[in-house]
Amino acid sequence: MIGGYVQDVNKPNAHNLSACNSLCIYYIILLAGRYFRCKKRDYTMTFMRTNVKYIVTYGAMAAILVIFCALEPPEPLTSVGMRAVGVFLATVVGWIFFGTGYVSMLCVALFALLGVMTPTEAFSSSWGSWLVIFMISCFGMSEGLRITGFSRRFAIWFVSRRFCRSRPWLLVTMFLLGCTLMGAVMSLTVTAIVFMAIAEPMLEGLGYKKGDRFSAMVMMGIAWAATASSAMTPIGHALNVLIVNWVEADFGITMSFAKFMLVGIPLGLLVFGLILLVFRFVLRPDVKEFGAMTARYIEQESAKLGPVKSEEKWAIGIFLAVVFLWIFPSIFSRILPGMSLYIKNMGYAVPAIIGATMMCVLRVKGRAILSFRDWMVNGVEWTTISLCAAIMALSAAISSENTGIQLFLTKIFQPIIDGAPFVVVLMVTLVWTVLQTNVMSNTVSGSLVYRIMAPALGTAGLINPAAFAFVVGAVANYAFILPSATTSTALVVGSGWVRVGFMAKYGLLMVIPVVLLFTFVGYPYAMMIFSG
């Protein structure tokens, strides 16, 4: 019984036609709204000229939905599964052409509209998930660290070490290492903005121009380091948290935050090392001018920061306390089993909520460390949150027995998997992931590959599910090639310091070493950690 009617999942029913009619009416109203907002004399021609992208894309989305509602489902797909696939494909088209914001909201609504889920199921599996609250709270703590000035102090600290003076490559290494470590626990967007705010005036002061080889390397390095760090921890990174949740739901395996970081941090640092090797021995910019003047600039910036403020101490103290609660059950389960069980049962969202709200509660010199308005307006990346919610709903639909999607995918890929060595299957999967993630959202790319390959490989008993999920999620974060791939690459290209062709040229060079690293080092290492 779904939405007040009895549904036969094995064949199209009357609701399919009703749903198609509803969709047609919805898109007619949507297009009509855009038409009547056009107020020039030749309404029809102006509308066609200025809205052709919208007409074609919305039309394609509507056509996909209508076709998949009307088609007879191939076994073992059900009619519900056909509608779910239609929603997914229409959503992907919307994500590509319109971004992941309102399209993700529409995705959840379409599941309810087409009877794939009841409205209650659609919202509880998406916006009602603990992951949404967890991400909102992590963004709040991240904003607290930024607004108090700790994030900038952290970045400056790495490049103000005495051993970096007169050593340009060491200075670049420390600068990008700071970016990598900050990105491990903060949004990559915030991380890129913080480090670009330091690098840009420094490069201009040293006489570098936009497009210069060295300045392009530094700015591209910020984007790549922030991106590479995304796979190191689940803190503030939607895809990693989704992977943790799916592995437990699909295979009954708990990927604790402590084990995730034990795998993610060393591998993230190895990827960072690969980036430095490409910069040093392939890109090879002239670094002669990057020396004493840089050291003087950094000293001036350090002096501007002054001593550590009370609000910074409170903010970092709260953040570290929350991280400690996340890893406590993994470390102290044998020493303090009762307390470990209690903290584990709280989950990851409760400590995060407490940490973010404590930053709002505590006041220093009459002011809250973090205002609720700053948290919600400046801190939370709502596009990421809506994308995360939509993917949770898609995941619920794909994994539902009513749709038959997992059985269908397993039926398609099982013969391929059985007929090829596992190392080849893994390598091809990772190449697919890393190339795909450069033309669509990292979260979408990783989710898509996991949902297609994990059931088939898991059924065949060929994988350690946690290790496979980790490497797919990690590689999906490595969007080094195009500015459309992720916000950090978009920011540096948009700033004018890095040309698209420059980034694409060296980003493509990163594909092979990254795939080899995660095939022959990452997967075996993750399998060793997650097997215990």
Return the DSSP state at 116.
S
pTM given for the model: 0.75
Handedness of CA 396, 397, 403, 404 (dihedral sign): negative
Close Cβ partners of 154 (under 8 Å, ≥ 6 residues apart): 178, 182
Q: Which two tokens stand for residue 32?
A: 């009509």
Find where tokens 């950690």 sit: 529
- Quote the CA–CA distance of 275 and 523 in Å, as a whole number: 20
C-alpha pair distances (Å), 320 with each of 68, 272, 295, 315, 372: 49, 24, 30, 9, 20
Task: For the chain, 532 residues long, give each residue's pLDDT as a single digit of tens.
Answer: 334 433 444 444 544 545 555 555 555 555 555 555 544 445 555 555 557 878 888 899 999 999 999 988 888 889 999 999 999 899 988 887 887 789 999 999 999 999 999 999 999 989 998 888 988 998 999 899 989 989 888 888 887 777 777 788 888 899 899 999 988 888 788 888 888 888 888 788 777 888 889 999 999 999 999 888 888 998 878 889 889 988 988 888 888 888 999 999 999 999 999 999 999 999 988 877 666 566 677 777 778 888 999 999 999 999 999 999 998 988 888 888 899 999 989 988 999 999 999 999 999 989 999 999 999 998 888 988 898 888 888 888 887 888 888 788 777 777 777 777 889 989 999 999 998 888 777 888 888 889 888 877 876 677 789 999 999 999 998 888 887 667 788 888 888 899 989 999 999 999 999 999 999 999 999 999 998 6
SS3 364: strand
Alpha carbon 249 to its chain centroid, in Å, reads 20
